[in-house]
Amino acid sequence: MMHAARQALEYAASALGFSGTGVAAAHVPQGHYLQQWLDNGMHADMEWMQRHLPARLNPELVLPGVRSIIILTYEYAGTDSRQQSGRIARYAQGEDYHKLLAAKLADLDETLQFYGGIQRCFTDSGPVSERFFAMQAGLGWIGRNGLLIRPGKGSYCFLASILTTLELPVSTPMRNYCGSCHRCEEACPTQALHNGCCDSRRCLSYWTIESKQADIPPDIADLLQDRMYGCDICQEACPWNRIQHGRERRIDPHLLMPATLAHTPLQQLAELQDEQFRLFFSQSPIRRIGEKHLQLNIRHLGGNSHKDF
């Protein structure tokens, strides 16, 4: 029965555009990595990470009776489509992935309900250690940049999770194939990466997206170069993102950068205010940082913090 449920899940997930499906046991010990990361203050001011720690370490607090954790991958573009200055992290070039994947996860929830399962679904939005369970589910390994790396596919993908009360057949974890490569660590301009650990206090993505502080420290701002939102340097440096095994990755058109965003000059983006900003980025994950944060990022591009937009 549970083998049939997993087969149905994999078939439905593939039909919905997910590129990979894996299953891990819900109560696999996660070790002390996350606790140490928090104790060292590497989460910066993302206090929600600390608040949700008990649930992350114990999925039973998220879904009582949980037995399995399903992890799914969904591809996004591995190329930069921005035609003007002001680079945008590849994951944020198209529509907001939270909304896009939520409907697909709801369909998979219905599939599992048919087999008697109770589920909770998340897309980078709940207290689930998705990368850890993706590794346990045999989808890839955690690279030195802290991201899930998949052989032949690299790291340009979203992760979604489904906690279920069904005891599905589990996948076999994959070994780490980073070997002696340290290219991501060497490429990081702020030296935020250390042996699979990312120090948010030094991370360009953190400062241009997550930070709630009034300004960006000068030593960080000077290294933004042309990055307006997020950073892909460690992914660009990874050899696994350059390997193509005879086929192109299938990218959902909704995740491709619209022409308006690709071609609108930086000056015009900096001048967007209130309703203009909300309308321009209505479908984009960039909307959530607000125009003030975006303007702050733009002011610092190229280390030119004196710009007045």
Amino acid letter, 178: C
Q: How many domains does the chain have?
A: 1
Q: Provide the CA 199 distance to its chain's centre, in angstroms.
A: 16
Amino acid letter, 140: G
CA distance 241 to 200: 23
From the candidates 124, 215, 226, 274, which is the catalytic residue? Answer: 124
**pLDDT reported for residue 196:** 82
3-state secondary structure 89-139: CHHHCCCCHHHHHHHHHHHHHHHHHCCCCCEEEECCCCCCCHHHHHHHCCC
**pLDDT reported for residue 247:** 52
pLDDT band (50, 70, 90) for residue 304: low
**For 73-115, how does the pLDDT look when each residue is reduced to its tens digit (9 = 90+)?**
999 999 989 999 999 999 999 999 999 999 999 999 999 999 9
Contacts of 182 (CB under 8 A, 6+ apart): 144
Q: How many Å from the N-terminal Cα to the C-terminal Cα in the chain?
A: 61
CA distance 140 to 132: 10
**For 130-164, how does the pLDDT look when each residue is reduced to its tens digit (9 = 90+)?**
999 999 999 999 999 999 999 989 999 999 999 99
β-pairing, 119-122 vs 157-164, is: antiparallel
* 14 phi/psi in degrees, rounded to 5: -65, -40
CA distance 42 to 241: 26
Range of the domain at 264: 1-309
**For 32-84, how does the pLDDT look when each residue is reduced to its tens digit (9 = 90+)?**
889 999 999 999 999 989 899 999 999 999 999 999 999 999 999 999 899 99
Q: Would you say 104 and 143 are in contact if contact means Cβ atoms under 8 Å apart?
A: no
CA distance 171 to 235: 26
| Residue 244 in tokens | 């193509």
Helices (H), the chain: 2-15, 33-39, 47-51, 53-57, 97-113, 130-136, 183-187, 204-205, 218-221, 233-237, 259-263, 266-270, 274-280, 290-299
Cα–Cα distances in Å, from 137 out to 20, 23, 96, 173, 284? 10, 5, 25, 6, 30
| Spatial CA neighbour of 38 closest among 51, 24, 25 | 51
Task: Indicate if 124 belongs to the active site.
Answer: yes
**For 5-29, how does the pLDDT look when each residue is reduced to its tens digit (9 = 90+)?**
999 999 999 999 999 999 999 999 9
CA distance 108 to 9: 7
* Mean confidence (pLDDT) of the chain: 94
**For 222-267, how does the pLDDT look when each residue is reduced to its tens digit (9 = 90+)?**
999 999 999 999 999 999 998 654 456 789 999 999 999 999 999 9
**pLDDT reported for residue 31:** 86
